[in-house]
Structure 1
Amino acid sequence: MAIKIYGDPGSGSRRRVTAAAAAMGIDIEIVNVDLFKGESHTPEFLELNPHGLSPVMVDGDFVLYESAAINLYLAEKAGSDLAGKTIREKYEILQWMFWSGEQWRIFATLTFDEVLGKRFMGRPADETIVQLAADKIRAGAAVLDAHLAEHDYIVGDRLTLADFDIAGPFSQNERTKIPLNEFPNLVAWQQRLLDTVPGWAATKREVDERIDGALAGAGIEL
């Protein structure tokens, strides 16, 4: 029985899981959850994740949410070295993934909620929040850019789960205008992923089609 991944095709978080699963050769069954229709807050979905967030993984009777946790589980189950070949590499990957969740992706998500999420509700963005998030993103991006000046990937000069985790904000940056394009090494790394990781390129097309279609359907021009 294939592992099920529940989530919206426009979600950068689902993208991180489905792209990583493809890179690891893991068979998954995708179950679409329409976030724009509130399907992540139905009683059925809330039984899977009481936070009402996606993606969620169901592997038999085991339910797991949070993309980073799902990817680590999938890597261990598949025996994939995307989670690290050595103890040292494993903890370097975890370091970057934990940093990404606490200091990086959170500000990209906050910007999405302000710049796009509120547009769907007919409300203006709070520019103070948008600026705060941009400042935090710039601070993190400056460190990443310096790191990527000397490395092709985040850890060990090869693709790992850290790359998928940190690449998540690129899913919406052209729409939210977060300041990632100010950092040439970061942009080059992202292009390297698109050129060398088929699942990352495929899921970019999926996210773009979903979000651009939703914006057009709502009559929203960016």
Structure 2
Amino acid sequence: MAIQVYGDPGSGSLRRVITAASIMGIELERVPVDLFKGESQTSDFKSRFNPHGLTPVMVDGDTILYESSAINIYLAEKVGSDLLGTTPAERYQVLQWMFWSGEQWRVFATLVFDERIGKRFVGQAEDARIVELAFGKIHAAAAVLDAHLADRRFIAGDRLTLADLDIAGPFSQSARTKLPLTDYPNLVAWQQRLLDTVPAWAETKREVDARIDGALAGAGIVL
């Protein structure tokens, strides 16, 4: 039986899993979960898959995992992929940046999306104080990334790893949420390099864009 992944095609977190699986040649059975209809918030979904009511969720036989980073590590270990590094030293660097992304980077981009996009679907206005706080954190993290990428093509080592996909996640919605990234040319150039050189990353961008733009249009929301 193919590995199942539950998620909404508009999710940047699902995008990271789909991209990684494609690069690794792993076949996934995708099970749609409509986040805009609240399909992940049912008691059945929470009890079976993720008590937080979030996606993506991976099911591989008796193994059920949520959190995209954990899923990608599981998949990479399953097939022995170099996306997790080829030496212990590389692996620790990849893991360091994946954990860094969750703590210092993606969480604040998600917060901005919830304020600037998510709230509009329920008729609420963004809280400017929350956006300002998140922007401050994003600026601090982006400065670190921009300096790190000054003489590197990728986040860890000399090729694409799971660290790149984790840190690239916020770019899935950055044009819509207006994340303050234009002052960081190395970071912007790195993201464009991923789009130009990683076909799966470009393909999943098109999928995310189609899903979110369609949802916005359906709700009559103009950004």
Q: TM-score range by the shorter chain?
A: over 0.9
Match of 1:36 in 2: 36
Write the distance in 2 (CA, Å) between the matches of 1:32 and 1:199: 19
Match of 1:3 in 2: 3
| Paired-residue identity, % | 73
TM value normalised by structure 2: 0.98
Match of 1:211 in 2: 212
Figure out how many residues of one structure are paired with residues of the other and give that number: 222
Supply the AA of the counterpart residue of 1:45.
F
Match of 1:150 in 2: 151
Cα deviation, residue 43, structure 1? 2.8
Are 1:45 and 2:45 counterparts? yes
Write the distance in 2 (CA, Å) between the matches of 1:183 and 1:207: 24
Write the distance in 2 (CA, Å) between the matches of 1:143 and 1:184: 12
| 3-state SS of paired residue (1:125) | coil
Write the distance in 2 (CA, Å) between the matches of 1:97 and 1:156: 14
Cα deviation, residue 50, structure 1? 1.1
CA deviations 1:160-190 (Å, max 9, x no partner) are 0000000000000000001123211111100
1:60-71 to 2 correspondence within 5 Å?
Answer: 60-71=61-72
Query: Which 4+ residue blocks in structure 1 deviate beyond 3 angstroms?
Result: none
TM value normalised by structure 1: 0.99
Cα deviation, residue 157, structure 1? 1.7
List runs of 5+ in structure 2 lacking aligned partners: none
Write the distance in 2 (CA, Å) between the matches of 1:89 and 1:58: 28
Write the distance in 2 (CA, Å) between the matches of 1:35 and 1:61: 25
Write the distance in 1 (CA, Å) between the matches of 2:5 and 2:180: 30
CA deviations 1:94-129 (Å, max 9, x no partner) are 100001001100000000000001111111100000
List runs of 5+ in structure 1 lacking aligned partners: none
Write the distance in 1 (CA, Å) between the matches of 2:63 and 2:206: 30
Match of 1:14 in 2: 14
Write the distance in 1 (CA, Å) between the matches of 2:73 and 2:121: 33
1:135-174 to 2 correspondence within 5 Å?
Answer: 135-174=136-175
Write the distance in 2 (CA, Å) between the matches of 1:20 and 1:181: 26
| 3-state SS of paired residue (2:117) | helix
Supply the AA of the counterpart residue of 1:205.
R
Write the distance in 2 (CA, Å) between the matches of 1:3 and 1:146: 38
Cα deviation, residue 211, structure 1? 0.5
Cα deviation, residue 44, structure 1? 2.8
Are 1:100 and 2:101 counterparts? yes
Match of 2:76 in 1: 75
Write the distance in 2 (CA, Å) between the matches of 1:113 and 1:181: 21
Write the distance in 2 (CA, Å) between the matches of 1:194 and 1:102: 24
Supply the AA of the counterpart residue of 2:4.
K
| 3-state SS of paired residue (2:40) | helix
CA deviations 1:118-171 (Å, max 9, x no partner) are 111111100000011011001100110111111000000210000000000000
Supply the AA of the counterpart residue of 1:219.
G
| 3-state SS of paired residue (1:149) | helix
Supply the AA of the counterpart residue of 2:106.
R
